[in-house]
Amino acid sequence: MAIIQDKMARPEGEDLDTEAIKENIKMPPELQEAYERVVIAGMKVMFSKQSHKLMLDELQKEGPMGQKLGMGIAGLMLLLIKESNGTIPPEVVVPAGINLLTRAADFIRKSKIEKITNGDIGDAMEVFISTILEKFGVDPAKMTDMLNQYSNENIPSEMGA
């Protein structure tokens, strides 16, 4: 899913953070409250006394930071979906997860647990989205094919690509 890395992670630009992501997530008014509730619930789980140490332990394990962060946020979102008895609107799962992912990245960066780059964040987004799609029965390869049909190469030049 190069679109995520090319458009959102800005590997050579300024640090990607929660504020930059929030500016790019536009929820329809009817989903805004649910989106905010999911983000708040996710932050409570990430930073609660009971689970915060587990999160730190996971981040300090061996492996690429993007993989650890993406899988961690996917697990968090699946936990929230389960705990909500399926009441979270599917439309908010990925945007809320991306918001939580960047909040976790901000925390990692500020606490200096490990160096985290925009590339790591882009990788984490790809891992997170692929994992969520698979759990909901969507083949990530088919989603990538669908997104690639909208890549710059397939947009007529008169449309500004």
Q: What digits encode the pLDDT tens for the residues 119-138?
A: 999 999 999 999 998 888 87
Rounded to 10 degrees, what is the CA torsion of 18, 19, 21, 24? 160
Confidence at residue 139, expressed as pLDDT on a 0 to 100 scale? 74
8 touches 24 (CB < 8 A): yes
- Higher confidence at residue 151 or residue 93? 93
- Higher confidence at residue 56 or residue 73? 73
C-alpha–C-alpha distance, residues 24 and 27, integer Å: 10
Spatial CA neighbour of 69 closest among 24, 106, 23, 22: 106
Residue 71 pLDDT more than 60? yes
Cα dist. 49→37, 39, 46 in Å? 20, 18, 9
Residue 16: DSSP 8-state: P
Residue 9 pLDDT more than 50? no
Mean pLDDT over 36-40 rounds to 95
Confidence at residue 8, expressed as pLDDT on a 0 to 100 scale? 46
Structure token digits, residue 75? 């697990």
Q: State the residue for tokens 């409570």.
A: 44
Confidence at residue 59, expressed as pLDDT on a 0 to 100 scale? 78
> Reduced to 3 states, what is the DSSP secondary structure of residue 5?
helix
Mean pLDDT over 2-16 rounds to 49
Residue 14: DSSP 8-state: S
Q: How far is CA 19 from the centre of its chain?
A: 14
Structure token digits, residue 101? 């992912």
Q: State the residue for tokens 């689970």.
A: 51
